[in-house]
Chain A
Amino acid sequence: MKEINRGRIMWFMGLLLTLAALFFIVAYPIRSLLAWQSGFLSRGFFILIFCFGVCLLRVIKGPAPVDRAVAMDTLGILIVGFCAVLSIFTGRDWYLDIAIAWALQSFIGALALAKYLEGRGFDE
């Protein structure tokens, strides 16, 4: 009984925190109407940083090692999108080079980790 109550209180607090974070991201005041693109893109940064926090929470909390591998793969794909938004925001094109390299590293890392967790050797 006590466990169920505690779990429900924690769930409700997490829901409130998530809604508050999304509300403050969306309702953040726009400073000037001329710079509406940069205001929108900085909101995109905050949304992606919120997603990074969720993935790191699953890395800390995950009961099985496969959960952590899935969360790290997701984090790698999210960083590619973050580099794309950063490339629009600053107008430089070499952020997409970082995105391509990061996608390659994340793919190879996830594949090697999956082979290891499966219990086989690397050369099968």
Chain B
Amino acid sequence: MSNIQHIAGFVFIILGLGFDVIGCIGLLRFRDTCGRLQATIKCVTFGTCAILIGTFILKGFCSTGMKAILTVVFLLLTSPVSAHALARAVYKPDGKI
């Protein structure tokens, strides 16, 4: 395994862990439900996708790397849908928060 592959993979993993920590602190510290949703879904999805892309760069085109790319595609497809459904669930049936 070459050296620049190592460095790029670990840079992606460090970036992802930092975004995860920032998203979780936003989940703890925001005051509104919509604020918490906005902070967590963006930061944590991007952080986890960065960790998985780092896994793909470290492992290359073997079974682990292709599963990581598949998980990235799956997360990017499903996470906005669940976030949208949860944001609609903030409002009560009579239209109030």
Asked if residues B28 and A58 are in contact (CB atoms below 8 Å), the reply is: yes
Shortest C-beta distance, B86 to chain A (Å), equals 5
Q: Out of A44, A70, A85, name the residue touching B37 (CB < 8 Å).
A: A70
Asked if residues A107 and B82 are in contact (CB atoms below 8 Å), the reply is: yes
Bound-state CA distance A48–B33 (Å) is: 23
- Residues from chain A with Cβ under 8 Å of B63 in the complex: 93
Asked if residues A70 and B33 are in contact (CB atoms below 8 Å), the reply is: yes
Chain B interface, >50% SS class: helix
Asked if residues A80 and B67 are in contact (CB atoms below 8 Å), the reply is: no
- Residues from chain A with Cβ under 8 Å of B40 in the complex: 70, 73-74
Chain A interface, >50% SS class: helix
Asked if residues B81 and A100 are in contact (CB atoms below 8 Å), the reply is: no
Chain B interface residue count, Cβ-Cβ cutoff 8 angstroms: 47
Asked if residues B24 and A51 are in contact (CB atoms below 8 Å), the reply is: yes
Bound-state CA distance A117–B48 (Å) is: 27
Q: List 22 A-B contacts (CB under 8 A).
A: A44-B17, A50-B24, A54-B25, A58-B28, A64-B33, A70-B33, A74-B24, A77-B44, A77-B79, A78-B24, A78-B44, A80-B52, A81-B48, A84-B71, A88-B58, A93-B62, A93-B63, A96-B64, A96-B68, A100-B67, A103-B71, A107-B79
Give chain B's interface residues, CB within 8 Å of chain A.
10, 13, 16-17, 20-21, 23-25, 27-28, 33, 36-37, 40-41, 44-45, 47-48, 51-52, 55, 58-59, 62-64, 67-68, 70-71, 74-75, 78-79, 81-83, 85-86, 88-93
Give the 3 A-B CB pairs with smallest separation, nearest first. Answer: A114-B85, A96-B67, A81-B48
